[in-house]
Structure 1
Amino acid sequence: MTVRAVVRGVGHYLPERVVPNSEFEKTLETSDDWIRSRSGIERRHLAAEGETTSDLAVNAARAALADAGLEADGIDAIVLATSTADLTFPSAATMVQAGLGMTHGYAFDVQAVCAGFIFALSNANALIVSGQAKRVMVIGAETFSRIMDWSDRGTCVLFGDGAGALILEATEGGGTPADRGLLSMDLHSDGRYRNILYVDGGVSTGQTGFLRMQGKEVFRHAVEKLAQTAHAALDKAGLTNEDVDWLVPHQANLRIIKGTAQKMRLSMDNVVVTVQDHGNTSAASIPLALSVGKARGQIKPGNLIVTEAIGGGLAWGAVVLRW
């Protein structure tokens, strides 16, 4: 018998406030056309004053529980990927645990910036395969609006807030690529590239700081590394790009998404794209896209999915799963 971590439910939450590109024309030397042509982004959601990352995560978690037909007491653990936790500590995951009324099990955060959800999925899979949990809630949630320099048109127009959640459940599989659930994962990081995408604040500075990015350098690394890690994950699963039904990439930039799909020899008809509506929601972007893809009727049971992301660190990776 092979234990597989199978998707039981998925859900997402977006703040009410929607900010179209045109709103930035009032304060920045930019335009809707400029933003769309360079990123594919048309609008994004921003958290309300007092609305925290854990608030978004709780709402996404409730949506995933409803989709799975479960209550919070049916979850053994919560793994939350975020770079914008409410406080330095405790973890946002424990706040979600409390918000759901879950008084058993355990909860912890994972921080790998935009690649966070990939790393969180890998951790959750390990918990299930090792027998430490039967059901794990995996959440990506961010309020990147809180670390934006609103005078920097190269960054502030790219990001948004949101949350997505996935429930993984231990299921018996045959140990073949035909199994449902997480089939393989491929993780990497390289701290030599920390200065091309980082926040210039933290505990050591006494200030929250702002996101800083060398866009051209990030783009150059992203397309190459994302295609490589996706192919590596497929190889580990004993599959090829021809087996892929859907590529569900980190939603950072439409040009990166198209470039990665091209290197993987996949049609854009096989790519779930949500960046136009949400912007870059960092660790939340993949579970958001999975939830939206299911709601659209794109993602169906039995579909083979490759999902990949790259973020500050640099940290990057991919997961192959059968829905």
Structure 2
Amino acid sequence: MRWGILATGGIASAFASDLRELKDDAELVAVGSRSTAAARAFADRFDVPRAYGSWTALADDEDVDVVYIATPHSAHRVAAGLCLRAGRAVLCEKPLTVNAVEARELAELARGHGRFLMEAMWMYCSPVIRRLTSLVADGAIGEIRAVHADFGLAGPFEPSHRLRDPAQAGGAVLDLGVYPVSFAHLLLGEPDEVQAWGHLTPEGVDDATGMVLGYDSGAMAVLSCSLAADTARTAVVTGTTGRIEFPRGFFYPEQFVLHREGVDPEVFGPPAAPAGGRLQGLHGLQYEAMEVMRCLRAGETESPLVPVEGSLAVMRTLDTVRDRIGVRYPGEA
């Protein structure tokens, strides 16, 4: 399967590194950037045959089967749309877009052109997370009553940093909050009620937000994200007959612990994990690439692991959170 990468930042480099893990199935054949020099430097670093100084040139390369969109999320709609219109399958970094309106536009574009689209929610493709959902589905902890998760970075970030720039859809919610929100959605679905409180920077984006998602079933998710504090980055899923605890890095876990009354704690890790290894890869992004290629070879236009409708539901929740805390980006109604 022939891959292209659009953009050349840190996440693009991580993806290119992990794609090497799949050398028998995947080949990185092209990279595109707004800068010819940046594209050439990236191509030289990762032995990519073709480097383009424009997004359009990459999208128009008919030898590319699928493009990984690695831009900041403020550019996802434009970049992914360009590739879909040109006939490429698309794996787009998270969050899928800036808001639900943009996400719906991308989904409709993909469906209208019969093209594959998947949000790069690598957490959903992790073997450990898939083991979690299997255990929950089998009733290992009964009915889920609560999900707790957080993701925070210490900062500080300068006012000019993209994470504080409204024009680049900055703020904690879209960059970090998407992880705990997506984790809650994976286990409980779209909430029936959303409440949130946030602290805003002078630029008008959030640097700390707390969220409570409520469900008519009686379940709740208590979530937080921050650009001002290095939080534990842990998660706990509590059910009527037990709980599952994730250590630091719940969105890319090496293991989790199942606790049940009257039973010794059980530790679950990835299948056939190497001693001291992290999911058999450098970053764990190879699993989302594997899922994309599986889907494309099966003729599927979206992934059952990361369904488009699920990504749209997450965007609706993120929209509601931003509405509650008063964050608006340029051009939004």
> Normalization by structure 2: what TM-score?
0.28
Q: Larger Cα Rg: Structure 1 or Structure 2? A: 2
Greater length-normalized contact order (CA 8 Å, ≥ 6 residues apart): 1
> Normalization by structure 1: what TM-score?
0.29
